[in-house]
């Protein structure tokens, strides 16, 4: 799992003439790099975001790293809205939003991106990120919630 908040450059991110950005966003139990590898092969030859960069050399490929825990009482978990605004500040610091954006999300990463876009519109500070978003790929995103959300919290009546 990620233990830091960062935007990791995968391919082409330093190209000032790039025509867009693709940002991968992991979910629960994953991290910015291992989520996008096959489980049995964690080497650079099997890292498909890099393949995308090789095929689209004029596009910046990134992966958002953030800490996410399945339970609120474990680790440095924070509410989704706060995680979204922190992520928006991070993207803004890398000038994401100056070009078209496509997000590729897994699991809770999809919920995070939806909240990021909602917050970007609501607060206006990150309007360029919201208006620059051209697409979102949702992989296993629990749009209607998860069965895990129905487990009782520690200390609450069952």
pLDDT in tens, 38-84: 777 666 677 889 999 999 999 999 999 998 765 554 555 678 899 99
* Spatial CB neighbours of 28, under 8 Å, sequence gap ≥ 6: 68, 69, 70, 107, 108
Domain 21-143 has CATH 3.40.50.720: no
DSSP 151: S
| Average pLDDT of the chain to the nearest whole number | 85
Q: Comparing C-alpha atoms, which of 4, 20, 11 is closest to residue 95?
A: 20
* pLDDT over threshold 80, residue 92: yes
Neighbours of 46 (CB within 10 A): 13
pTM, two decimal places: 0.84
CA atoms within 13 A of residue 135's CA, in its CB half-sphere: 6
């Amino acid at each position: 799992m990620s233990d830091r908040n960062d935007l990791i450059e995968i391919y082409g991110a330093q190209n000032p003439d790039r025509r867009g950005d693709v940002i991968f966003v992991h979910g629960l139990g994953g991290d910015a790099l291992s989520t996008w590898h096959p489980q049995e092969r964690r080497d650079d030859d099997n890292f498909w975001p890099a393949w995308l960069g090789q095929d689209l050399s004029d596009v910046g490929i990134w992966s958002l790293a953030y800490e996410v825990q399945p339970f609120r009482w474990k680790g440095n978990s924070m509410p989704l809205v706060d995680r979204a605004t922190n992520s928006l500040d991070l993207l803004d610091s890398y000038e994401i939003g100056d070009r078209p954006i496509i997000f590729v999300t897994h699991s809770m990463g999809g919920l995070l991106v939806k909240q990021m876009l909602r917050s970007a519109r609501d607060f206006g500070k990150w309007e360029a990120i919201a208006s620059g978003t051209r697409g979102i790929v949702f992989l296993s995103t629990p749009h209607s919630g998860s069965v895990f959300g129905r487990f009782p919290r520690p200390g609450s009546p069952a």
